[in-house]
Structure 1
Amino acid sequence: MRRQLLVLLLTIFTSANLCAQSPNPNLLWYTQPATQFEEALPVGNGRIGAMVYGGVKTERLSINESTLWSGGPVNPDMNREAKNYLQPVRDALFKEDYKMADSLVRFMQGKFSESYAPLGNLFIDLNHGDSAFNYRRQLDIRNAVVVTSYEIDQTTYIREVFVSYPAQLIIIKLTASGKNKLAFSCRFNSLLPFRVGRDNDALHMKGNAPIHAEPNYRGNMPDAIRYDNENAMRFSSLVKVLSTDGMQTLRDTSLNVFSATEAVLLVSMGTSFNGFEKNPGKQGLNEGVVARNYLQPATQKDFVSLKQEHIKDFRSFFDRVYFSLGADSLSAVSTIERLNRFAGGASDNGLVSLYYQYGRYLLISSSRPGGIPPNLQGLWNEQVRPPWSSNYTTNINAQMNYWGVETANLSELHRPLLDFIGRLEKTGKVTARNFYNAGGWTCHHNSDIWAMTNPVGDFGQGSPCWANWPMGGAWLATHLWEHFAFSMDTNYLRNQAYPLMKGAVQFCLDFLTKDKKGNLVTAPSTSPENVYITPTGYHGQTLYGGTADHAMIRELFNGF
């Protein structure tokens, strides 16, 4: 009996030891802090997000709110004369006078899109040395938690950061164990006009986005960023201490904690966005009330319950798919080392499966029902003029964000894009009529939170190979059918998908025209972001009957 008990205890101990040491295939981890945006670790809940840098002397969270954009409601009637150039462009194309077509099609352009704006930064300045040992920062993509840990002067410091969907907050826990205690200060800043002050028990930052920000690829130009405090989007962010065993003080520009072994911070954000058709300055929500209302319920809970709610919510999506390509023998190797090895040709199936799951992680973190779809940079941006305006680029990128959504068993996360298509249809009807004398609706190369659908280019300044591409609506509409094919939701098909698909089909039917051989073709057309060379050496951009156009139309028609 004693021997059996001993064997049982040894078995339990060994199993527990193996579990404790078993590798976690869902970790991205590094041995030094991030030094630039691309190295920081992303967390988000579809509405708000942060890039966590994991600094030692100063922690930085670059924070975003998905509805904070420049501009306001778009005027889809911006170029009513555009359709008058449709036939002259077609005549030039069918005469194969491509230079003339490239010149004339520029009269069929409108304004550039607006830009996704950075809300700002939360800095946590830590009052300890900066010579850290045993440094590690990691992102657990199954639990959606970033952990930074290191040792200084016989003290272990640990920070946990996650963005809770149930609480709609960024939650940060700091701990110190060993010789010294925690002492830190929190402060906000932003690249946008802002001011910081005390708001009861919280540090409060408020400001506003630009009324317009030119695309970064236009380079240095006068008034590239313009402000209008009366009409622009406003934002608000709050940070407060949920709990601490130390002391805290709140000053005009900082929130301070000292003599603590642990502290929990809550960060809330809100904007004045009140819908794509409403002026965010004059008809907007009270952004301060929005941020405060998210903050208040969490003050009645503790860190453990907030974290449990967050993990339960996130795993309800993440755990739907398990993907393995064999034992992950390299999980004890840092992510950057694995990437370098893989780039050099070494095999690493564990990294491949991690990469797939990381894609699912990013979509769960940036796309939730009822919210805004992820843009070119998902949910994360820290520039006022970000690359390509961090907008919706519909000649592949907006669709690409969702290519895996159904097969990754995340079907309901498709909803933000599908709802966005419904908003595009409203402005897209005007665009179809004004630019092509067509029914139905369409969308071009770029869009933004205001559901802009016109050809971009600043009324003639854009290159036709991207500015005048007219198939964004047709391609986006294929997502409507794909969601039904996976969900078999007949109410959705009847009330949402079918009417929108019908409008996209109608535009294509009206837009197609006969070429010299009597074939129905798109004209004008482009091969997105490509240039062709004619036998005479002309580098052209506008064409007719583009293969990509016809492929998208066939897919849409087949679904319809």
Structure 2
Amino acid sequence: MKHRLFTFALAASTFLNCQAATVSKTPLPNKLWYNKPAYAFEESLPLGNGKLGALVYGGANNDSIQLNDITLWTGVPVNPDEGGEAYKWISKIREALFKEDYKTADSLQHYVQGHNSEFYQPLGMINIIDCNQGEFTDYYRELNLDKSLATVQFKRNGIQYTKEYFASHPDKMIAIKLSASQKRAINSDISLTSLIPHQVKASRGQITMTGHVLGDEANSTHYCAMLHVKNTDGQVWADDSVLHLKDVSEAIIYLVNETSYNGFDKHPVKEGAPYIERVSDDAWHLANFTYDEFKQRHIADYRKLFDRVSLNLKGAKFDASRPTDQQLLAYSDNHESNPYLEQLYFQYGRYLLISSSRTKGVPANLQGLWAPALRSPWRGNYTININLEENYWPAEVANLSELVAPVDGLVEGLSVTGRHNAQHFYGIDKGWCAGHNTDAWAMSNPVGTGNESPQWSNWAMGGAWLVETLWDHYDYTRDTEYLRNTAYPLMKGAADFLLAWLIPDPHNPNELITAPCTSPEADYITDKGYRGSSFYGGTADLAIIRELFKNTIKGAKALGIDSDYQQQLQAALNRLRPYHIGKRGNLMEWYHDWDDQDWHHRHQSHLLGLYPFHQISVAKTPELAAAATKTLEIKGDNSTGWSTGWRINLWARLHRADKAYQIYRKLLTYVSPEVYKDSKHHSGGTYPNLFDAHPPFQIDGNFGGTAGVCEMLMQCDGETMNLLPALPQEWQAGEIRGLKARGNYGVSLAWNKGKLTQATITSKNEGNLTILYNGKQKILTFKAGETKTIR
């Protein structure tokens, strides 16, 4: 393994030196920067160590740092008996559907609904009040993606004040350094508070905050945060809940936090984690290193991940004259060319994933881990009809495989609760399933509480789609032990449920369909004018099942097991109702050729087979690819942020570089923070701090955009690799280093005048790979650990 990595690194270095003439010779800094403090959440700068998160507002007079802990959720483990005999309604719903009585079917779906997810909660807020008098000038605020460091600088009374912030994964803390250009110039009050129930006490250079999330104290996750101040000189004293700093030259603030969350199946009080002991250990650890040592440990840990991939586009220049928000506004409103902003956005997605996805069993949620509100939009939960899956689209291809591990734990939890869900809500005793939403407790039941629309509440396919994230991890790494011990058993459990859930099509008994089903969050209009959600034989359902069965068969073959089961899956696969093309030339979403209630709807679940799956392609299924193209044309280009991120990838798969780039630019539409109520800049797009705007903030669009850049530059199904398949005309020259491809390939590319000039491909495994580039086709045969170069 060491030899292979060394070989690849050497090849990549040579590759970059050879191609330097086409792009900037000096690596550009990956920085977001601003000339004023943040007023709104969407202007703040996010830091995270995968568990603790911070949003830096950077005020000169009052510096607020919003805090989050990704394990801080309301609720307790799910009730395994929820649903009771709700499954008895399934046969009645099917009966109504097959009589084409969709109104009755929609109404009966309410009997097959359970509780809604729990809420993700904010941890607290650090406030650092500057007690010095006088106006501030020369303000500067920065987020350095290369080092995962935030910095704030300003002058007051001729003295320059500097604050530096980072969130350390190896040392489990958030650090803030206060310094000044003049000795004993720091005079500040430091406090710690929270929106959730809490108690605070300050003493001897430390503030301790304890409390619990909203809800009954006896049935809630508890937490303990400790803030510690180290000063070089001057005075630090406590007054109730505030620490006062007087005449200090330099001060270091450390924040540690632990919660009683102990896994999806452990009561947070009765079986809670020993959070008081753990946070005490975290605090004691702070004496082991200096601030500079902690900082270097943090940067080294972070860069092991971030530095794996670099993107450099011709014409990219770091703009030191206009802050990032002004660049984004000009790019959006004035249609400026800004390749630097385009490559910065790509790397920002990688940065956000590193910062929010390093906690076992608790992946990045709808807001990553940055949620300031007591009740976050959509509860801050995991929506698994697209959004959580989209969070992890860039993980493998952008060379951040380890960050998928939190999804493993969540899916393992869903496989446990999902068995009860399958029995009580669907009457199926084999396998497991999950619905539209989940949370830290691995809730798997259909949501809606019996009162909400089946449009989003009644859906059984969430687990089957999410488990494909685990398959992707195997497919990119070819880690057989991971497949054997983690991915395959969970895939098989999901497939078991679906084998029992599929039924013969009443119009064509030789084909298998699902009933009831919905197409996530979308409605149809029947030929009789009824607007509904529930139907049968949905394209999205069948695409998910087709992908799961196909990959489960591949997994079994790779492991050399379950030959009879492979045949059972293949027999069902052969009977799945195929794709159909509608009267408008579009790919049909519904069983019948009905109209969409909203032809421009943000969801495009019936296009799953195009992306992220590999069922529809320009080369192998041209008629279906044409229908997918027509579907996207009908939908148009305006949508929410996360949907726009998805559409970049869909157009890239269709090899439409023009549309993929156009939609990428659309994703970088400037959106004003919510508090400003700017109706001109209120759409799907990007906030001033480059957070994705649904609106409001929803992080999956960031990740969809990062994946979309990869998809424009390289596509691979493990057997065929297409280089620059959707290269925008605007990116005439450039290079990308360190991508990963299915089959466990490392890929670096350089191009000039729109043509590939060099590709370096490294394979861990023996095998053949077909390469498509510049209108050519070449078959490469690899030995394990071998690197090959194409020019």
TM-score (norm 1): 0.91
The residue aligned with 1:165 is: 169
- Residue 435 of structure 1 is matched in structure 2 by 425
2:503 aligned residue (485, 490, 513): 513
| Pairing of 1:282-297 with structure 2 (within 5 A) | 282-297=270-285
SS in 2 for 1:276: coil
Match in the other structure for 1:68: 72
> CA shift at 1:200, angstroms?
5.8
Amino acid at match of 1:449: A
Whole-angstrom CA distance in 2 between matches of 1:328 and 1:25: 11
CA distance in 2, matches of 1:525, 1:427: 21
Deviations 1:199-232 (A, max 9, x none): 665211111102xxxxxxxxxxxxxxxx211121
State the distance in 2 between where 1:136 and 1:310 align: 23
Q: Aligned residues, how many?
A: 522
Counterpart residue type for residue 318 of structure 1: F
Q: 2:318, 2:461 → 1: CA distance?
A: 44
Query: For residue 445 of structure 1, what is the aligned residue in structure 2?
Result: 436
Pairing 1:97–2:101 present: yes
Question: Is contact 1:429-1:442 (8 Å) kept?
Answer: yes
Q: Which amino acid is the alignment partner of residue 172 of structure 2? A: Q
| Structure 1, 193-202 or 469-478: larger mean CA deviation | 193-202
1:484 CA drift (Å): 0.5
1:404 is aligned to 2:411: no
Q: Which runs of 5+ in 1 are unaligned?
A: 1-21, 211-226
1:260 corresponds to: 248
Task: Indicate if the aligned counterparts of 2:161 and 2:178 stay in contact, CA closer than 8 A.
Answer: yes
Superposed CA offset, 1:494-539 (max 9, x none)? 1111110000111111111112221211111111001111122211
Determine the C-alpha separation between the residues in 2 that align with 1:381 and 1:28: 20
Residue 60 of structure 1 aligns to a residue whose secondary structure is strand
Q: Which residue does the alignment assign to 2:656?
A: none
Alignment match, 1:384: 374
1:17-69 deviation per Cα after TM superposition (whole angstroms, max 9, x unaligned): xxxxx784300001111111111100000111111101111110110111110
Matches of 1:251 and 1:449 in 2, distance apart?
Answer: 37
Root-mean-square deviation (CA, aligned residues, Å) is: 1.4
Matched, 1:118 2:105: no
Identify which of 470, 477, 480 aligns with 2:470.
480
In the alignment, which residue of structure 2 is the partner of 1:187? 191
Inter-partner Cα distance in structure 1 for 2:500 and 2:238 = 63
* In 1: Cα distance, 2:284 partner to 2:315 partner: 45
1:457 corresponds, among 441, 448, 451, to 448
Change (3 A) 1:342 1:421: same
| TM-score, with structure 2 as normaliser | 0.65
| Code of the aligned partner of 1:285 | A
Give the AA of the match of 1:351: L
Matched residue, 1:547:
539
**SS where residue 502 of structure 1 aligns?**
helix
3-state DSSP of counterpart to 2:167: strand
TM-superposed deviation, 1:180: 6.7
Query: Could you tell me which residue of structure 2 aligns to residue 374 of structure 1?
Result: 364
Tell me, in whole angstroms, the C-alpha distance in 2 between the residues paired with 1:172 and 1:272: 25
Name 1:337's counterpart in structure 2. 326
Indicate yes or no: 2:502 matched with 1:532.
no
What residue identity is the alignment partner of 1:83?
A: Y
Specify the code of the residue in structure 2 equivalent to 1:54: G
Amino acid at match of 1:412: E
Residue-by-residue CA offset, 1:416-445 (whole Å, 9 max, x unaligned): 012211111000011111111222111100
What corresponds to 2:660 in structure 1? none
Which residue in 2 is equivalent to 1:238? 226
Q: Does the 8 A contact of 1:43 with 1:50 survive in 2?
A: yes
Counterpart residue number, 1:223: none
1:97-151 CA distances to partner (integer Å, 9 max, x unpaired)?
0000000111000001101011111111111236221101010011001000001
Give the secondary-structure state (helix, strand or coil) at the position aligned to 1:473.
helix
Instruction: Note the C-alpha offset of 1:243.
Output: 3.7
1:269 aligned onto 2:265: no
- Equivalent-residue separation in structure 2 for 1:556 and 1:200 (angstroms): 58
**Change in CA separation of 1:469 and 1:129 when aligned onto 2, cut-off 3 Å:** farther
**SS, match of residue 312 in structure 2:** coil
> Which is further off, 411-420 or 278-287?
278-287
1:314 aligned to 288, 296, 302, which one?
Answer: 302
Distance 2:143 2:133 in 1: 24
2:217 match: secondary structure:
coil
AA of the residue aligned to 1:317: L
Does the 8 Å contact 2:209/2:226 carry over to 1? yes
- CA deviation string 1:219-255 (max 9, x = no partner): xxxxxxxx21112111111111134232211232111
1:148 and 2:152 matched: yes
Q: Which has the higher contact order (CA 8 A, sep 6+)?
A: 1
Distance in 1 between residues matched to 2:224 and 2:445, nearest whole Å: 31
Find the aligned partners of 1:313 and 1:497 in 2 and give their Cα distance.
27
Amino acid at match of 2:152: T
Residue 48 of structure 2 contacts residue 355 of structure 2 at CA under 8 Å; is this kept in 1? yes
Structure 2 CA distance for partners of 1:130 and 1:49, relative to 1, 3 Å:
farther
Report matched runs for 1:479-498 at 5 Å.
Answer: 479-498=469-488
1:36-115 residue pairs with structure 2 within 5 A? 36-115=40-119
1:157-199 CA-partner distances (Å, limit 9, x unpaired): 1000100011100000001114870011111111111111136
Instruction: Write the deviation string for residues 389-408 of structure 1: whole angstroms up to 9, x where unpaired.
Output: 00000001111110010001
Asked if the contact 1:240/1:255 (under 8 Å) is kept, the reply is no
Percent identity between matched residues is 44
Work out whether residues 171 and 294 of structure 2, in 8 Å CA contact, stay in contact via their aligned partners in 1: yes
Distance 1:102 1:288 in 2: 49
The CA deviation at 1:330 is 4.3
Distance 1:243 1:364 in 2: 31
Q: State the Cα distance separating 1:327 from its structure 2 match.
A: 3.9
What is the identity, as a one-letter code, of the residue corresponding to 2:211?
G
Are the structure 2 counterparts of residues 150 and 24 from structure 1 closer, same or farther at C-alpha, using a change threshold of 3 Å? farther
- Aligned partner letter, 1:395: N
Separation (CA, whole Å) in 2 of partners of 1:448 and 1:369: 14
Does the aligned pair in 2 maintain the 1:46–1:364 contact within 8 Å?
yes
Cα separation, 1, equivalents of 2:142 and 2:444: 40
Match of 2:118, SS?
Answer: coil
C-alpha change, 1:144 and 1:368, in structure 2 (3 Å) is same
Native 8 Å contact 1:207 1:234 kept in 2 = yes
Q: 2:218–2:269: 8 Å Cα contact kept in structure 1?
A: yes
- CA distance in 1 between partners of 2:69 and 2:129 (Å): 23
CA distance in 1, matches of 2:129, 2:63: 7
Distance 1:90 1:342 in 2: 51
Aligned-partner residue type, residue 420 of structure 1: L
Decide whether aligned partners of structure 1 residues 261 and 484 sit closer, same or farther in structure 2, where only a CA change above 3 A counts.
same
Residue aligned with 1:89, SS: helix
In 2: Cα distance, 1:128 partner to 1:326 partner: 46
Given the alignment, which residue of 26, 29, 37 partners 1:33? 37
Distance 1:179 1:168, change over 3 A: closer
Deviates more, 1:193-202 or 1:288-297: 193-202
